[in-house]
Amino acid sequence: MMINTRILYSFFLLFSFPLFQSVSFAKKPNILFILSDDQSHRSVGCYPESPDWVKTPHIDSLARDGIRFAHCYMSSWCMAARATLLTGHQSYGVKSMRMEGEYPGSVYNSKDCPFWPSVFRKEGYQTAQIGKWHTGVDNGFGRDWDFQKVWNRPAFPENSGNYFKEQFIQTNGKKAIMTQGYSTDNYTKWAEEYVRGGHGKEDNKPFYLWLCYGAVHGPFTPAKRHFDRYPNAKVDIPEDIYPPRNGKPEYSRTKEQWIP
């Protein structure tokens, strides 16, 4: 039986891809880290717990040709998961990071809470992040990231619910610009442009790209082209979606939402 939290797979694809790699830095592979938000392993086809109607052929291919984690533990929610993935600590061990100010405001001390992309920079990598950012108003550009094109959710509370359209996008720490289009498609387009040499990518350096999607975090908003993808699918309600949850702390036993 696979033991897992909600973001177990979470598109947790920390694969070293030799994408467009030159011989000059063959010993330092390019790294593409793709993260999906609040995604259950039950919604990924390569896991036995997923329903038969779940179709995720591209992720399944990566799992088949690479490594699929069957037992993995991490913080199971949005900001907490990001804190874990940026520091290597479980959420309770991430120093100084906390929610503060108007929701979804958050802060951290970069000295108490260093992010490991800065280590890649010291090792000669060009670091980049594209997509959703929700780990403090300070997005780390210039310290952790050489290139950044992000929806800085905690910096703009008035825009914090716009997961999939009309987002304030910041590029390299500059003034945010209202951006149209479906966010998942935008992030993918920008990432492909970067990998192919755009957005100031330096060809003489290996790259580390952290591609962070807002999907499948609520509000659940598929692209229009996917509205009719599963017309007859039956979704069984997981046993842990409604309380009581015996054996859990009081807060987890009674909260009316999915807590694995």
Q: Is the pLDDT of residue 12 over 70?
A: no
Average pLDDT, the chain: 85
The CATH number of the structural domain formed by 13-222 is: 3.40.720.10
Backbone angles phi, psi at 210, to 5 degrees: -100, 110
Q: Is the pLDDT of residue 10 over 60?
A: no
Q: How far is CA 107 from CA 78, 112, 137, in A?
A: 15, 12, 6
Confidence of residue 255 (pLDDT cuts 50, 70, 90): low
Q: Is the pLDDT of residue 14 over 90?
A: no
Q: To the nearest 5 percent, what fractions of the chain are helix, strand and coil?
A: 25, 15, 60
Q: Is the pLDDT of residue 132 over 70?
A: yes
Among 164-168, 174-178, 224-228, 246-250, the least confident range: 246-250
Model pLDDT for residues 78-90, shown as the tens digit of each residue: 888 898 889 988 8
Structure tokens at 189: 């387009």
Check residue 120 and give its pLDDT. Answer: 96
Helix (H, G, I), strand (E, B) or coil at 130: strand
Residues 72, 9: Cα–Cα separation, whole Å:
8
Residues 47, 213: Cα–Cα separation, whole Å:
21
Check residue 127 and give its pLDDT. Answer: 98
Residues 6+ apart with CB under 8 A from 157: 102, 103, 104, 105
Enumerate long-range contacts of 233-238, CB under 8 Å, 24 or more apart. Answer: 233/51, 233/53, 234/51, 234/53, 235/51, 236/51, 238/42
Counts of helices then strands in the chain (DSSP H, E):
5, 9
Domain ranges of the chain: 13-222
* Bridge pairing between strands 167-171 and 177-179: antiparallel
Check residue 256 and give its pLDDT. Answer: 61
Radius of gyration of the chain measured on its C-alpha atoms? 19
Closest by CA to 108, choosing from 71, 56, 144, 69, is 144
CB 137 within 8 A of CB 106: yes
Structure tokens at 68: 């699929």
Confidence of residue 246 (pLDDT cuts 50, 70, 90): confident
